[in-house]
Amino acid sequence: MKTTILQSRNSMNRSHVRLALLLISLAWFALSPLARAVDPPPDGGYPHRNTAEGTDALFNLDTSQPYVSDNTATGFDALFSNTIGFGNTANGSQALYSNTTGGNNTADGVDALYFNTTGSGNTATGWTALQSNTTANFNTASGYAALSKSTTGEGNTANGALALFSNTIGANNTASGFNALEFNSAGSANTATGESALLFNITGSDNTATGSQALWGNGFGNENTANGSSALFSNTSGNTNTAIGAGALHTNEIGSNNTAAGVNALYKNTGDNNIALGVSAGFNLHTGDNNIYVGNAGNNGDHNKIRIGTVDSHKATFIAGISGVTVPAGVGVIVGTDGKLGTVVSSERFKDAIKPMDKASEVIHSLQPVTFRYKKELDPDGIPQFGLVAEDVAKVNSDLVARDDQGKPYSVRYEAVNAMLLNEFLKEHRTVQELKTTVVQQQRQIDALTAGLQKVSAQIELNKSAPQTVQNSQ
| Per-residue model confidence (pLDDT) at position 330 | 82
Can you give the pLDDT at residue 472? 61
Check whether domain 355-452 has CATH 1.10.10, yes or no: yes
Say how many CA atoms lie within 13 Å of 254 toward its Cβ. Answer: 1
User: Taking 60 as the threshold, does the pLDDT of residue 197 lie above it?
Assistant: yes
- Which tens digits make up the pLDDT trace of 114-128? 999 999 999 999 999
Q: Three-class SS of residue 90?
A: strand
Summarised one tens digit per residue, pLDDT across range 66-122 is 899 999 999 999 999 999 999 999 999 999 999 999 999 999 999 999 999 999 999
Distance CA 417, CA 360 (A): 11
Residue 277 near residue 283 (C-beta atoms within 8 A): no
What pLDDT is attached to residue 14? 44
For residue 263, the tally of other CB atoms under 10 A from its CB is 19
Give the pLDDT of residue 469. 61
Its pTM surpasses 0.85: no
Q: Is the dihedral of CA 444, 449, 453, 456 positive or negative?
A: positive
Task: Give residue 72's identity as a one-letter amino acid code.
Answer: T
Q: CA-to-CA distance for 370 and 388, rounded, in angstroms?
A: 6
Mean pLDDT, rounded, of the chain: 89
Could you give the 3-state DSSP secondary structure of residue 36? coil
Beta-carbon contacts of 379 under 8 Å, excluding residues fewer than 6 positions away, are: 373
Looking at the DSSP bridge assignments, the partners of residue 308 are 294
- pLDDT band at residue 5, thresholds of 50, 70 and 90? very low
What pLDDT is attached to residue 336? 83
pLDDT higher for 425 or 459? 425
Contact call for residues 231 and 252 (beta carbons, < 8 A):
no
Whether the predicted pLDDT of 6 surpasses 50: no
Whether pLDDT at 30 is above 50? no
Judge whether residue 15 has pLDDT over 90.
no
Does the pLDDT at position 239 exceed 80? yes
Question: Percent of the chain having pLDDT more than 90?
Answer: 77
